[in-house]
Structure 1
Amino acid sequence: MEPKTRYKQELSELKQHREQVILETAERVFSDNGIEKTTMHHIAKEASIGIATLFRYFPKKEKLIVAVATNMIEEVFLEFQKISQTDSTCLEKMELLFDFFIAPLPNHYDRNIKFLEDFENYAAHSDEPLEDMDEFNRLYRRVSLMFSRIIQDGQEDGSLRSDISVRETLTTVINAFAIFSRKLSLQRNILRLELDLEPEKQLTVLKHILLDYLKA
Protein backbone atom coordinates (compact mmCIF):
# COMPACT_ATOMS: atom_id res chain seq x y z
CA MET A 1 0.00 0.00 0.00
CA GLU A 2 1.32 3.42 -0.95
CA PRO A 3 2.15 5.78 1.96
CA LYS A 4 -0.49 8.27 0.83
CA THR A 5 -3.17 5.60 0.62
CA ARG A 6 -2.17 4.14 3.97
CA TYR A 7 -2.29 7.60 5.54
CA LYS A 8 -5.82 8.19 4.23
CA GLN A 9 -6.93 4.81 5.51
CA GLU A 10 -5.45 5.42 8.96
CA LEU A 11 -7.06 8.86 9.06
CA SER A 12 -10.43 7.37 8.13
CA GLU A 13 -10.10 4.67 10.80
CA LEU A 14 -9.14 7.27 13.41
CA LYS A 15 -12.17 9.35 12.49
CA GLN A 16 -14.49 6.34 12.72
CA HIS A 17 -13.02 5.38 16.09
CA ARG A 18 -13.44 8.87 17.47
CA GLU A 19 -17.02 9.07 16.22
CA GLN A 20 -17.79 5.75 17.91
CA VAL A 21 -16.26 7.01 21.16
CA ILE A 22 -18.45 10.12 20.93
CA LEU A 23 -21.58 8.04 20.32
CA GLU A 24 -20.86 5.66 23.20
CA THR A 25 -20.10 8.56 25.53
CA ALA A 26 -23.21 10.47 24.45
CA GLU A 27 -25.37 7.38 24.99
CA ARG A 28 -24.08 7.03 28.54
CA VAL A 29 -24.37 10.74 29.40
CA PHE A 30 -27.82 11.14 27.82
CA SER A 31 -29.04 8.06 29.70
CA ASP A 32 -27.57 9.11 33.04
CA ASN A 33 -28.53 12.79 32.94
CA GLY A 34 -31.46 12.89 30.52
CA ILE A 35 -31.44 14.38 27.03
CA GLU A 36 -32.77 17.80 28.04
CA LYS A 37 -30.25 18.32 30.86
CA THR A 38 -27.22 17.16 28.89
CA THR A 39 -25.11 19.75 27.07
CA MET A 40 -22.50 19.31 24.37
CA HIS A 41 -19.91 20.50 26.90
CA HIS A 42 -20.85 17.59 29.20
CA ILE A 43 -20.31 15.10 26.39
CA ALA A 44 -17.04 16.65 25.21
CA LYS A 45 -15.67 16.54 28.74
CA GLU A 46 -16.69 12.91 29.27
CA ALA A 47 -15.24 11.92 25.88
CA SER A 48 -11.98 13.76 26.68
CA ILE A 49 -12.13 15.84 23.52
CA GLY A 50 -12.39 19.55 22.84
CA ILE A 51 -15.79 21.10 22.27
CA ALA A 52 -14.67 22.26 18.82
CA THR A 53 -13.83 18.67 17.88
CA LEU A 54 -17.25 17.49 19.01
CA PHE A 55 -18.97 20.15 16.92
CA ARG A 56 -16.94 19.12 13.87
CA TYR A 57 -18.48 15.67 14.12
CA PHE A 58 -21.93 16.80 15.24
CA PRO A 59 -22.65 20.50 14.60
CA LYS A 60 -25.83 20.40 16.73
CA LYS A 61 -26.90 18.51 19.82
CA GLU A 62 -30.00 17.33 17.96
CA LYS A 63 -27.84 15.61 15.34
CA LEU A 64 -25.97 13.74 18.05
CA ILE A 65 -29.21 12.69 19.75
CA VAL A 66 -30.56 11.20 16.52
CA ALA A 67 -27.20 9.55 15.76
CA VAL A 68 -27.24 7.78 19.13
CA ALA A 69 -30.83 6.62 18.57
CA THR A 70 -29.96 5.40 15.08
CA ASN A 71 -26.98 3.49 16.44
CA MET A 72 -29.27 1.72 18.91
CA ILE A 73 -31.85 0.85 16.27
CA GLU A 74 -29.09 -0.63 14.14
CA GLU A 75 -28.30 -3.04 16.99
CA VAL A 76 -31.97 -4.05 17.09
CA PHE A 77 -31.99 -4.53 13.31
CA LEU A 78 -28.91 -6.76 13.40
CA GLU A 79 -30.51 -8.94 16.08
CA PHE A 80 -33.79 -9.22 14.15
CA GLN A 81 -31.81 -10.04 11.01
CA LYS A 82 -29.82 -12.75 12.78
CA ILE A 83 -32.97 -14.32 14.20
CA SER A 84 -34.87 -14.15 10.90
CA GLN A 85 -32.03 -16.00 9.15
CA THR A 86 -31.85 -18.89 11.61
CA ASP A 87 -33.00 -22.32 10.46
CA SER A 88 -35.91 -22.32 12.90
CA THR A 89 -39.68 -22.34 12.77
CA CYS A 90 -41.62 -19.12 13.17
CA LEU A 91 -42.63 -20.14 16.70
CA GLU A 92 -38.98 -20.73 17.62
CA LYS A 93 -38.01 -17.36 16.15
CA MET A 94 -40.70 -15.66 18.19
CA GLU A 95 -39.22 -17.24 21.32
CA LEU A 96 -35.79 -15.90 20.34
CA LEU A 97 -37.27 -12.42 19.91
CA PHE A 98 -38.94 -12.61 23.32
CA ASP A 99 -35.61 -13.64 24.85
CA PHE A 100 -33.93 -10.68 23.12
CA PHE A 101 -36.28 -8.29 24.94
CA ILE A 102 -35.86 -10.11 28.26
CA ALA A 103 -32.05 -10.25 28.14
CA PRO A 104 -31.26 -6.67 29.34
CA LEU A 105 -33.44 -6.90 32.45
CA PRO A 106 -31.08 -8.74 34.84
CA ASN A 107 -28.63 -5.85 34.40
CA HIS A 108 -31.13 -3.72 36.38
CA TYR A 109 -30.15 -0.60 34.43
CA ASP A 110 -30.27 -0.86 30.69
CA ARG A 111 -29.15 2.39 29.10
CA ASN A 112 -30.70 1.59 25.74
CA ILE A 113 -34.15 1.26 27.25
CA LYS A 114 -33.86 4.46 29.26
CA PHE A 115 -32.44 6.47 26.36
CA LEU A 116 -35.00 5.28 23.81
CA GLU A 117 -37.85 6.13 26.17
CA ASP A 118 -36.38 9.60 26.65
CA PHE A 119 -35.76 9.95 22.91
CA GLU A 120 -39.37 9.14 22.03
CA ASN A 121 -40.61 11.74 24.51
CA TYR A 122 -38.08 14.28 23.22
CA ALA A 123 -39.10 13.71 19.59
CA ALA A 124 -42.81 13.79 20.42
CA HIS A 125 -42.51 17.17 22.17
CA SER A 126 -40.20 18.76 19.61
CA ASP A 127 -41.75 21.77 17.85
CA GLU A 128 -40.19 20.74 14.54
CA PRO A 129 -39.36 17.31 13.08
CA LEU A 130 -35.89 16.24 14.19
CA GLU A 131 -33.08 16.49 11.66
CA ASP A 132 -31.34 13.43 10.24
CA MET A 133 -34.29 11.14 10.97
CA ASP A 134 -34.15 9.59 7.50
CA GLU A 135 -31.50 7.03 8.48
CA PHE A 136 -33.31 6.24 11.73
CA ASN A 137 -36.57 5.69 9.85
CA ARG A 138 -34.81 3.63 7.18
CA LEU A 139 -33.41 1.28 9.81
CA TYR A 140 -36.79 1.07 11.51
CA ARG A 141 -38.31 0.00 8.19
CA ARG A 142 -35.58 -2.65 7.84
CA VAL A 143 -36.46 -4.00 11.29
CA SER A 144 -40.07 -4.24 10.08
CA LEU A 145 -38.88 -6.04 6.94
CA MET A 146 -36.98 -8.61 9.00
CA PHE A 147 -40.07 -9.17 11.11
CA SER A 148 -42.18 -9.50 7.96
CA ARG A 149 -39.96 -12.41 6.92
CA ILE A 150 -40.63 -14.10 10.24
CA ILE A 151 -44.35 -13.51 9.71
CA GLN A 152 -44.08 -15.11 6.27
CA ASP A 153 -42.46 -18.15 7.86
CA GLY A 154 -45.43 -18.36 10.21
CA GLN A 155 -47.81 -18.35 7.28
CA GLU A 156 -45.95 -21.20 5.59
CA ASP A 157 -44.28 -23.54 8.11
CA GLY A 158 -47.34 -24.70 10.06
CA SER A 159 -45.86 -23.92 13.48
CA LEU A 160 -48.64 -21.44 14.29
CA ARG A 161 -52.37 -21.85 14.74
CA SER A 162 -54.29 -21.76 11.49
CA ASP A 163 -57.31 -19.93 12.95
CA ILE A 164 -55.53 -16.60 13.56
CA SER A 165 -54.43 -13.74 11.33
CA VAL A 166 -50.67 -14.31 11.45
CA ARG A 167 -49.58 -10.80 10.51
CA GLU A 168 -51.97 -8.96 12.81
CA THR A 169 -51.43 -11.33 15.73
CA LEU A 170 -47.62 -11.47 15.59
CA THR A 171 -47.30 -7.72 15.13
CA THR A 172 -49.56 -7.08 18.13
CA VAL A 173 -47.80 -9.69 20.27
CA ILE A 174 -44.25 -8.48 19.61
CA ASN A 175 -45.13 -4.80 20.06
CA ALA A 176 -46.96 -5.47 23.32
CA PHE A 177 -44.12 -7.64 24.63
CA ALA A 178 -41.46 -5.05 23.74
CA ILE A 179 -43.39 -2.21 25.39
CA PHE A 180 -44.10 -4.26 28.51
CA SER A 181 -40.43 -5.25 28.88
CA ARG A 182 -39.36 -1.62 28.56
CA LYS A 183 -41.91 -0.43 31.12
CA LEU A 184 -40.89 -3.11 33.61
CA SER A 185 -37.26 -2.12 33.31
CA LEU A 186 -38.04 1.56 33.81
CA GLN A 187 -40.38 0.80 36.71
CA ARG A 188 -37.65 -1.03 38.59
CA ASN A 189 -35.20 1.82 38.02
CA ILE A 190 -37.70 4.39 39.27
CA LEU A 191 -39.19 2.57 42.26
CA ARG A 192 -36.00 0.96 43.55
CA LEU A 193 -38.21 -1.44 45.50
CA GLU A 194 -38.10 -5.17 46.07
CA LEU A 195 -40.80 -6.38 43.72
CA ASP A 196 -43.11 -9.31 44.50
CA LEU A 197 -42.16 -10.86 41.17
CA GLU A 198 -38.99 -9.92 39.31
CA PRO A 199 -39.57 -8.33 35.87
CA GLU A 200 -37.65 -11.04 34.00
CA LYS A 201 -39.81 -13.68 35.72
CA GLN A 202 -42.98 -11.81 34.73
CA LEU A 203 -41.80 -11.65 31.13
CA THR A 204 -40.84 -15.32 31.09
CA VAL A 205 -44.34 -16.22 32.27
CA LEU A 206 -45.87 -13.94 29.63
CA LYS A 207 -43.58 -15.42 26.97
CA HIS A 208 -44.83 -18.94 27.68
CA ILE A 209 -48.46 -17.79 27.73
CA LEU A 210 -48.05 -16.15 24.31
CA LEU A 211 -46.13 -19.07 22.81
CA ASP A 212 -48.79 -21.51 24.03
CA TYR A 213 -51.44 -19.29 22.45
CA LEU A 214 -49.60 -19.09 19.12
CA LYS A 215 -48.47 -22.67 18.59
CA ALA A 216 -50.38 -25.02 16.34
Structure 2
Amino acid sequence: MTEFNDKQNEILLVAEKLFSEHGFDGTSVRDIAKEANINIAMISYYFGSKEKLLEALIINRISDLRLEMENLFKENLTPFEKIDRLIELYIRRINKNCRMYQIIHFEIATKKRDINYQSFNEVKKYNLQALMKIIEEGQEKGLFVKNIDVALIPPTIMGTYFHFQMNKPFYGEIFNLKTEEDFDTYILTHLIKHIQKTIKALLVYEN
Protein backbone atom coordinates (compact mmCIF):
# COMPACT_ATOMS: atom_id res chain seq x y z
CA MET A 1 0.00 0.00 0.00
CA THR A 2 1.33 3.43 -0.96
CA GLU A 3 1.99 5.74 1.99
CA PHE A 4 2.03 9.48 1.38
CA ASN A 5 3.88 12.02 3.51
CA ASP A 6 2.33 15.26 4.80
CA LYS A 7 3.48 17.35 1.83
CA GLN A 8 2.19 14.78 -0.67
CA ASN A 9 -1.17 14.63 1.14
CA GLU A 10 -1.35 18.43 1.02
CA ILE A 11 -0.72 18.41 -2.74
CA LEU A 12 -3.33 15.67 -3.22
CA LEU A 13 -5.95 17.70 -1.32
CA VAL A 14 -5.28 20.76 -3.49
CA ALA A 15 -5.37 18.66 -6.68
CA GLU A 16 -8.66 17.06 -5.61
CA LYS A 17 -10.20 20.49 -4.97
CA LEU A 18 -9.09 21.89 -8.33
CA PHE A 19 -9.97 18.75 -10.31
CA SER A 20 -13.43 18.86 -8.71
CA GLU A 21 -13.93 22.54 -9.55
CA HIS A 22 -12.37 22.69 -13.02
CA GLY A 23 -12.06 19.08 -14.20
CA PHE A 24 -8.86 17.18 -14.97
CA ASP A 25 -8.30 18.87 -18.35
CA GLY A 26 -9.16 22.29 -16.92
CA THR A 27 -6.52 22.07 -14.19
CA SER A 28 -2.81 22.51 -14.89
CA VAL A 29 0.16 21.45 -12.79
CA ARG A 30 0.93 25.17 -12.49
CA ASP A 31 -2.55 25.77 -11.03
CA ILE A 32 -1.97 23.04 -8.44
CA ALA A 33 1.48 24.38 -7.54
CA LYS A 34 0.15 27.92 -7.15
CA GLU A 35 -2.78 26.85 -4.96
CA ALA A 36 -0.50 24.67 -2.81
CA ASN A 37 2.09 27.47 -2.60
CA ILE A 38 4.92 25.27 -3.87
CA ASN A 39 7.02 25.14 -7.01
CA ILE A 40 6.17 22.91 -9.96
CA ALA A 41 9.39 20.94 -9.48
CA MET A 42 8.08 19.59 -6.16
CA ILE A 43 5.02 18.08 -7.87
CA SER A 44 7.28 16.54 -10.51
CA TYR A 45 9.56 15.19 -7.78
CA TYR A 46 6.75 13.57 -5.82
CA PHE A 47 4.42 12.45 -8.62
CA GLY A 48 6.16 12.85 -11.99
CA SER A 49 3.14 14.11 -13.97
CA LYS A 50 -0.47 15.25 -13.67
CA GLU A 51 -1.58 11.75 -14.72
CA LYS A 52 0.50 10.18 -11.96
CA LEU A 53 -0.95 12.70 -9.53
CA LEU A 54 -4.47 11.60 -10.49
CA GLU A 55 -3.38 7.97 -10.10
CA ALA A 56 -2.07 8.70 -6.59
CA LEU A 57 -5.29 10.53 -5.73
CA ILE A 58 -7.40 7.56 -6.84
CA ILE A 59 -5.31 5.15 -4.76
CA ASN A 60 -5.36 7.49 -1.75
CA ARG A 61 -9.14 7.85 -1.79
CA ILE A 62 -9.94 4.16 -2.17
CA SER A 63 -7.28 3.22 0.42
CA ASP A 64 -9.14 5.35 2.97
CA LEU A 65 -12.25 3.30 2.25
CA ARG A 66 -10.28 0.09 2.74
CA LEU A 67 -9.24 1.19 6.23
CA GLU A 68 -12.82 2.08 7.19
CA MET A 69 -14.04 -1.28 5.89
CA GLU A 70 -11.42 -3.09 7.98
CA ASN A 71 -12.67 -1.29 11.08
CA LEU A 72 -16.29 -2.03 10.17
CA PHE A 73 -15.62 -5.76 9.86
CA LYS A 74 -14.12 -5.83 13.38
CA GLU A 75 -17.17 -4.24 15.00
CA ASN A 76 -19.59 -6.35 17.01
CA LEU A 77 -22.52 -6.00 14.62
CA THR A 78 -24.89 -8.41 12.90
CA PRO A 79 -24.31 -9.04 9.16
CA PHE A 80 -27.43 -6.96 8.39
CA GLU A 81 -26.08 -4.06 10.47
CA LYS A 82 -22.68 -4.32 8.76
CA ILE A 83 -24.32 -4.17 5.33
CA ASP A 84 -26.32 -1.11 6.38
CA ARG A 85 -23.20 0.59 7.72
CA LEU A 86 -21.22 -0.31 4.62
CA ILE A 87 -23.82 1.25 2.32
CA GLU A 88 -23.99 4.39 4.46
CA LEU A 89 -20.18 4.56 4.41
CA TYR A 90 -20.09 4.25 0.60
CA ILE A 91 -22.74 6.91 -0.02
CA ARG A 92 -21.52 9.43 2.55
CA ARG A 93 -17.97 9.25 1.17
CA ILE A 94 -19.08 9.61 -2.45
CA ASN A 95 -21.58 12.38 -1.68
CA LYS A 96 -18.94 14.37 0.20
CA ASN A 97 -17.09 14.92 -3.07
CA CYS A 98 -19.35 13.69 -5.83
CA ARG A 99 -17.64 15.57 -8.67
CA MET A 100 -14.26 14.07 -7.85
CA TYR A 101 -15.70 10.56 -7.95
CA GLN A 102 -17.37 11.36 -11.28
CA ILE A 103 -14.00 12.48 -12.67
CA ILE A 104 -12.34 9.28 -11.41
CA HIS A 105 -15.03 7.06 -12.94
CA PHE A 106 -14.91 9.00 -16.21
CA GLU A 107 -11.13 8.59 -16.43
CA ILE A 108 -11.36 4.86 -15.72
CA ALA A 109 -14.16 4.35 -18.23
CA THR A 110 -12.65 6.34 -21.09
CA LYS A 111 -8.97 5.42 -20.53
CA LYS A 112 -7.98 8.76 -22.03
CA ARG A 113 -4.84 8.96 -19.87
CA ASP A 114 -1.83 6.74 -19.47
CA ILE A 115 -2.70 5.77 -15.90
CA ASN A 116 -1.66 2.56 -14.18
CA TYR A 117 -4.80 1.13 -12.58
CA GLN A 118 -3.16 -2.00 -11.17
CA SER A 119 -2.80 -0.63 -7.63
CA PHE A 120 -6.30 0.83 -7.83
CA ASN A 121 -7.72 -2.54 -8.88
CA GLU A 122 -5.82 -4.33 -6.12
CA VAL A 123 -7.42 -2.11 -3.48
CA LYS A 124 -10.85 -2.60 -5.08
CA LYS A 125 -10.31 -6.35 -4.92
CA TYR A 126 -9.42 -6.08 -1.24
CA ASN A 127 -12.57 -4.05 -0.53
CA LEU A 128 -14.62 -6.64 -2.42
CA GLN A 129 -13.08 -9.41 -0.31
CA ALA A 130 -14.08 -7.50 2.85
CA LEU A 131 -17.64 -7.30 1.55
CA MET A 132 -17.53 -11.03 0.75
CA LYS A 133 -16.54 -11.75 4.36
CA ILE A 134 -19.59 -9.89 5.65
CA ILE A 135 -21.85 -11.77 3.26
CA GLU A 136 -20.22 -15.13 4.04
CA GLU A 137 -20.80 -14.44 7.72
CA GLY A 138 -24.49 -13.84 6.98
CA GLN A 139 -24.66 -17.01 4.89
CA GLU A 140 -23.06 -19.10 7.63
CA LYS A 141 -25.70 -17.82 10.06
CA GLY A 142 -28.47 -18.67 7.60
CA LEU A 143 -29.43 -15.02 7.12
CA PHE A 144 -28.36 -14.58 3.48
CA VAL A 145 -28.98 -16.86 0.51
CA LYS A 146 -26.09 -18.66 -1.17
CA ASN A 147 -26.47 -17.52 -4.80
CA ILE A 148 -25.30 -13.90 -4.48
CA ASP A 149 -23.24 -12.10 -7.14
CA VAL A 150 -21.17 -10.17 -4.61
CA ALA A 151 -19.14 -8.32 -7.26
CA LEU A 152 -22.35 -6.68 -8.53
CA ILE A 153 -23.30 -5.20 -5.16
CA PRO A 154 -20.91 -2.17 -5.21
CA PRO A 155 -22.04 -1.06 -8.72
CA THR A 156 -25.67 -1.52 -7.62
CA ILE A 157 -25.04 0.81 -4.68
CA MET A 158 -23.06 3.42 -6.59
CA GLY A 159 -25.11 3.14 -9.78
CA THR A 160 -28.27 4.09 -7.91
CA TYR A 161 -26.52 7.06 -6.32
CA PHE A 162 -24.98 8.36 -9.55
CA HIS A 163 -28.24 7.93 -11.49
CA PHE A 164 -29.93 10.10 -8.87
CA GLN A 165 -27.14 12.71 -9.08
CA MET A 166 -27.16 12.85 -12.88
CA ASN A 167 -30.94 13.39 -12.95
CA LYS A 168 -31.20 16.08 -10.29
CA PRO A 169 -33.68 18.31 -12.19
CA PHE A 170 -36.08 15.38 -12.58
CA TYR A 171 -35.85 14.19 -8.97
CA GLY A 172 -35.85 17.75 -7.68
CA GLU A 173 -39.25 18.21 -9.29
CA ILE A 174 -40.56 14.80 -8.19
CA PHE A 175 -39.48 15.17 -4.55
CA ASN A 176 -39.69 18.98 -4.28
CA LEU A 177 -35.95 19.41 -3.70
CA LYS A 178 -34.92 23.01 -4.36
CA THR A 179 -31.49 23.54 -2.82
CA GLU A 180 -28.24 21.58 -2.53
CA GLU A 181 -29.03 21.20 1.16
CA ASP A 182 -32.40 19.64 0.22
CA PHE A 183 -30.62 17.15 -2.06
CA ASP A 184 -28.00 16.27 0.57
CA THR A 185 -30.65 15.71 3.22
CA TYR A 186 -32.66 13.49 0.88
CA ILE A 187 -29.58 11.47 -0.14
CA LEU A 188 -28.38 10.95 3.44
CA THR A 189 -31.82 9.86 4.66
CA HIS A 190 -34.23 8.53 2.03
CA LEU A 191 -31.81 7.44 -0.71
CA ILE A 192 -29.49 5.60 1.67
CA LYS A 193 -32.45 3.78 3.22
CA HIS A 194 -33.77 2.85 -0.22
CA ILE A 195 -30.40 1.39 -1.24
CA GLN A 196 -30.08 -0.47 2.07
CA LYS A 197 -33.51 -2.07 1.54
CA THR A 198 -32.64 -2.95 -2.07
CA ILE A 199 -29.35 -4.65 -1.18
CA LYS A 200 -30.84 -6.54 1.77
CA ALA A 201 -33.66 -7.75 -0.49
CA LEU A 202 -31.02 -9.15 -2.88
CA LEU A 203 -29.28 -10.89 0.02
CA VAL A 204 -32.40 -12.74 1.18
CA TYR A 205 -34.20 -13.30 -2.14
CA GLU A 206 -34.53 -16.96 -3.15
CA ASN A 207 -34.59 -17.77 -6.89
* TM score, norm. by length of structure 2: 0.79
Q: Does 1:180 align with 2:180?
A: no
Q: C-alpha separation between the residues in 2 aligned to 1:33 and 1:128?
A: 17
Q: Does 1:123 align with 2:108?
A: yes
Q: Does 1:151 align with 2:127?
A: no
Map of 1:97 onto structure 2: 86
CA deviations on 1:147-190 (whole Å, 9 max, x unpaired) are 12112112212222x4x51x32x4434431222123324544xx
Q: C-alpha separation between the residues in 2 aligned to 1:127 and 1:101?
A: 26
What RMSD over aligned residues (CA atoms) do the two structures have, in Å?
2.7
> Do the aligned partners of residues 128 and 154 (structure 1) sit closer, same or farther apart at CA in structure 2, a change above 3 Å counting?
same
Q: C-alpha separation between the residues in 2 aligned to 1:32 and 1:110?
A: 14
User: Structure 1: 5+ residue runs without aligned partners?
Assistant: 1-14
The count of residues paired between Structure 1 and Structure 2 equals: 191
Q: Tell me if structure 2 keeps the 8 A contact 1:35–1:119.
A: no
CA deviations on 1:28-75 (whole Å, 9 max, x unpaired) are 111111112111011111111011112111111110010001111111
Aligned ranges 1:172-211 → 2 under 5 Å: 172-188=152-168, 191=169, 194-197=172-175, 198-200=186-188, 201-211=190-200
**What SS does structure 2 have at the residue aligned with 1:103?**
helix
Once the two structures are TM-superposed, the CA of residue 128 in structure 1 deviates from its matched residue by 6.4
- Comparing 44-53 with 85-94, which one deviates more in the overlay? 85-94
Q: Tell me if structure 2 keeps the 8 A contact 1:29–1:43.
A: yes
* TM score, norm. by length of structure 1: 0.76
Map of 1:10 onto structure 2: none
Q: C-alpha separation between the residues in 1 aligned to 2:195 and 2:110?
A: 32
User: Structure 2: 5+ residue runs without aligned partners?
Assistant: 176-185
> Do the aligned partners of residues 102 and 118 (structure 1) sit closer, same or farther apart at CA in structure 2, a change above 3 Å counting?
closer
Map of 2:180 onto structure 1: none
**What SS does structure 2 have at the residue aligned with 1:88?**
coil
Q: Does 1:32 align with 2:21?
A: yes
CA deviations on 1:105-136 (whole Å, 9 max, x unpaired) are 8xxx632x3222212222333356523x3322
> Do the aligned partners of residues 195 and 75 (structure 1) sit closer, same or farther apart at CA in structure 2, a change above 3 Å counting?
farther
Map of 2:72 onto structure 1: 83
Once the two structures are TM-superposed, the CA of residue 104 in structure 1 deviates from its matched residue by 4.9
Q: C-alpha separation between the residues in 2 aligned to 1:78 and 1:67?
A: 17
Q: C-alpha separation between the residues in 2 aligned to 1:56 and 1:90?
A: 45
Q: C-alpha separation between the residues in 1 aligned to 2:74 and 2:106?
A: 33
- Comparing 94-103 with 23-32, which one deviates more in the overlay? 94-103
Q: C-alpha separation between the residues in 2 aligned to 1:39 and 1:54?
A: 11
Higher Cα Rg, which structure: 1
Q: Tell me if structure 1 keeps the 8 A contact 2:79–2:135.
A: yes
Q: C-alpha separation between the residues in 2 aligned to 1:192 and 1:20?
A: 38
**What SS does structure 1 have at the residue aligned with 2:5?**
helix
Map of 1:110 onto structure 2: 96
